[in-house]
A and B are shown apart, each in its own frame.
Chain A
Amino acid sequence: MPGEDAGRAMEPLLRVENLKVEFHTERGTVAAVNDVSYDIYDGEIVGLVGESGSGKTVSQLAVMQLVRTPPGLITGGRVLFEGADLLQYPSKSREMRSVRGRKIAMVFQEPMTSLNPALTVGLQLREMLELHLGMNREASRERSVELLQMVGIPDAEKRVKDYPHQFSGGMRQRVMVAMAISCNPKIVIADEATTALDATTQLQLLELMRDLVKRLGVSLVLVTHNLGVVARYAHRVYVMYAGRIVEHGTVAQVLSCPRHPYTRGLIQCVPRPGLGDRPLISIDGMPPDLIELGSACTFLPRCPYREPTCEQEVLPKLEVVEPGHEVACHLVSKGSDPCR
Chain B
Amino acid sequence: MSMKTPSDGYALEVRDLKMYFPVTAGLLRRKVADVKAVDGVSFAIRPGETLGLVGESGCGKTTVGRCIVRLYRPTSGDIILEGKNISRLPEREIRPLRRRMNIVFQDPFGSLDPRQSIGSIVGDPLKRHRLVQGKTAYRDRIAELFEMVGLDRNLTGRYPHELSGGQRQRVAVARALAGDPSLIVCDEPVSALDVSIQAQTINLLRDLQRKIEGLTYLFISHDLWVVQYISTRVAVMYLGRIVEIAESEQLYEKPLHPYTKALLSAAPVCDPELESTRHPIVLQGETPSALNPPSGCRFHPRCPMAQPECRERDPVLRSVGEDHQVACLLI
Q: A-side interface residues toward B, CB under 8 Å?
A: 51-52, 168, 170-171, 198-204, 207, 225-233, 251-252, 255-256, 265-267, 269-273, 275, 279-283, 286
Contact = CB atoms under 8 A, between A and B. Distances in A.
Contacts of B287: 198
B164 A269 contact: no
| Among B225, B230, B267, B283, residue most surrounded by chain A Cβ atoms (within 10 Å) | B267
A170 B222 CA distance: 16
B271 A272 contact: yes
Interface string B213-249: 0000000001111101110000000000000000000
Nearest to A225: B195
Interface of B: 56-57, 164, 194-200, 202-203, 206, 222-226, 228-230, 252, 262-263, 265-275, 278, 280, 282-283, 286-287
Contacts of B273: 252, 256
A198 B56 contact: yes
Main secondary structure, interface of B, reads: helix
Contacts of A225: 194-195
B57 A198 contact: yes
A51 B197 CA distance: 10
A286 B193 CA distance: 12
A283 B199 CA distance: 8
B119 to A, nearest CB: 22
B306 to A, nearest CB: 16
A203 B272 contact: no
A225 to B, nearest CB: 6
Given A204-B283, A283-B199, 12 more contacts: A170-B286, A200-B56, A225-B195, A228-B275, A232-B269, A251-B272, A270-B198, A270-B199, A270-B225, A273-B228, A273-B269, A280-B202
B203 A279 contact: yes
A296 B270 CA distance: 30
B270 A228 contact: yes
Nearest first, the 6 A-B pairs at minimum CB distance are A228-B268, A271-B229, A282-B199, A269-B199, A198-B56, A227-B270
A140 to B, nearest CB: 28
B225 A202 contact: no
A230 B223 CA distance: 16
Nearest to B223: A271
A282 B194 CA distance: 11
Contacts of B225: 270-273
Given A199-B267, A200-B266, A231-B275, A280 B164 contact: no
Contacts of A252: 272-273
Contacts of B195: 51, 225, 266, 269-270
B268 A232 contact: yes
Contact of B282 (A198, A204, A230): A204
